[in-house]
Structure 1
Amino acid sequence: MLEIHPVNNTYSEPIIDLILNIQQKEFNIPITIEDQPDLLKIEEFYLNAGGNFWGAFINGELVGTIALVKFDEKAAAIRKMFVKKEFRGKEYNIAQKLLEILIAYCHENRIDEVYLGTISVLKAALRFYERNHFGIIAKESLPVKFPVMSADNVFCFLNLKANS
């Protein structure tokens, strides 16, 4: 049975294990925990600024994550959208449910613009975002305050005011 709920620093270890395994082992992305200090400071980096961090659990096992960094009054960035390989796809629909919870949170908290950065090798992720009405935008079109991750080379935008 799938449960999705907000997580905090007490979940840092399983979150780091899940994300680094996917980044390093599955997709050979040369990224380390040192490149992602936010994972050691979930409350400080995500929650205190008005964003959130959710975990998806099946029988108590962390199988997915999504986070929201609020970087402006009405704008935020999706971060850390990962689902364990064995739990991807239509059968579980975890990525979709995580995104829907994040979007609902944005509506409740008057966040109208959602951005994200990803990596071109994550083709399924890009297709997923496009299916969910995100458009690809140039890096130069990102808001000045958008927190760019060094590995990201594809950027997407969703205007919630236009899609509500």
Structure 2
Amino acid sequence: METKIEVKEYTSGYQSQVVDLILHIQQQEYGIPITKEDQPDLFNIENFYQKENGNFWVAVSDERVVGTIALLDIGNHQGALRKVFVAKEFRGKVHKTAILLLNKVFEWGRKKEVNEIFLGTTLQFVAAHRFYEKHGFEEITAEELPAAFPILKIDKKFYRYVIS
């Protein structure tokens, strides 16, 4: 049986699933010492991400959140890619969950006239680095980030994507 994945705009009904998914990946899979208290944005998604040219999406399979992605509006026709997480069993070429989520951000960015998307990631997420590079992101230094880009203390590697 084929698994259907649908990318939807976030609504508050998904909040607990979003928090659980993100914390599980951060803490259990990657051993990153980050708590939900370190991420107040997860408890205020509507006001933090879903404003101006930003938004937050969930990938859903059988009413279960299996992925997340957010675009934070940082002004100047620029956005910060945040909260890109996909449940382990939904990663890779079979389900294409990450690509579905990323394409939703690119589509939204074009519609909202966002010209550049920046992201920061941890050194541990090696597969994510390959994914971003394969999909057109170029690695940049922290000094090349816009002043409005919110650098997290765990971010050590940075990328830029130019929307054409």
- TM > 0.5 fold call: yes
Query: Whole-Å Cα distance in 1 between the matches of residues 73 and 154 of structure 2?
Result: 20
Query: Whole-Å Cα distance in 1 between the matches of residues 52 and 21 of structure 2?
Result: 24
The equivalent residue for 1:34 is: 37
The equivalent residue for 1:134 is: 137
Q: Share of identical aligned residues, percent?
A: 43
> Aligned residues, how many?
161
- Normalised to the residue count of structure 2, the TM-score between the two structures is 0.95
**Corresponding position: 1:113 with 2:116:** yes
Query: Whole-Å Cα distance in 1 between the matches of residues 81 and 12 of structure 2?
Result: 18
Q: Is the 8 A contact 1:46 1:52 kept in 2?
A: yes
**Corresponding position: 1:154 with 2:157:** yes
CA RMSD in angstroms comes to: 0.9
Q: Which runs of 4+ in 1 moved over 3 A?
A: none
Deviation at 1:114, TM superposition (A): 0.3
- Which AA in structure 2 matches 1:20? L
Moved more, 4-13 or 125-134: 4-13
Unmatched 5+ stretches in structure 2: none
The equivalent residue for 1:16 is: 19
Deviation at 1:49, TM superposition (A): 3.5
- Which AA in structure 2 matches 1:96? I
The Cα offsets for residues 113-152 of structure 1, whole Å up to 9 and x where unpaired, read as: 1000000110000000000110111111110000111111
Q: Is the 8 A contact 2:86 2:98 kept in 1?
A: yes
The equivalent residue for 1:102 is: 105
Query: Whole-Å Cα distance in 1 between the matches of residues 83 and 148 of structure 2?
Result: 18
- Normalised to the residue count of structure 1, the TM-score between the two structures is 0.95
